[in-house]
Amino acid sequence: MDFQEIWGQEQVVQYLRSSLEKERLAPSLILHGPEGVGKTFLALLLARNLICARGNGQACGNCSGCRKIDPPNSHHPDLRRIHPTGREIRIQQIRDLVREIQVRPLEGRRKVFLIEPADRLTTEASNALLKTLEEPPSRGAILLITPNYHSLLPTVRSRCQALRLQPLAADLVARFLITAQNLPEADAELIASITEGRIARAATFDFPRFHKRRKRLLNLLADLQGRRYGAAVLRNAEQMANSAEDLVEELDTLLLLFRDIARLVYSPGEAPIANRDLREELLKLAERFSHRAYQMVERIEETRRDLQKNVNRYLATQVLLFDLAGAGHAGDPGSGPLRRRVALPGHP
Q: Does 54 bind Zn ion (CB under 5 A)?
A: yes
Within residues 246-285, the interface with Zn ion by CB under 5 A covers none
1 binds Zn ion (CB under 5 A): no
Q: Contacting Zn ion (CB under 5 A), which of 15, 17, 57, 60? A: 60
Contact region for Zn ion (CB under 5 A) — 61-69, 81-89, 286-294, 340-348? 61-69
**Contact window for Zn ion (CB under 5 A) among 34-42, 55-63, 151-159, 194-202:** 55-63
Output phi, psi for 58, to 5 deg: -135, 135
Helices assigned H by DSSP within 101-228:
123-134, 154-157, 170-181, 185-194, 199-203, 207-223
68 vs 80, which CB is nearer to Zn ion?
68
Q: Is 66 an interacting residue with respect to Zn ion (CB under 5 A)?
A: yes
DSSP reduced 3-state for 306: helix
Long-range contacts of 271-277 (CB under 8 A, 24+ apart): 273/193, 274/193, 274/194, 274/196, 275/190, 275/194, 275/214, 276/189, 276/190, 276/193, 277/186, 277/190
Q: Rounded to an integer, what distance in angstroms lies between the CA atom of residue 331 and that of residue 149?
A: 45
**Is 63 or 248 the residue whose CB approaches Zn ion more closely?**
63
Using the rule CB under 5 A, give the single segment among 54-62, 221-229, 248-256, 318-326 that binds Zn ion. 54-62
Which of these ranges, 62-70, 119-127, 187-195, 231-239, lies near Zn ion under the rule CB under 5 A? 62-70
235 makes contact with Zn ion (CB under 5 A): no
**Number of residues this chain uses to bind Zn ion (CB under 5 A):** 5
Output 90 or 139, the one with its CB closest to Zn ion: 139
CA gap 172, 175 in Å, rounded: 5
Contacts with Zn ion, residue ranges (CB under 5 A): 52, 54, 60, 63, 66
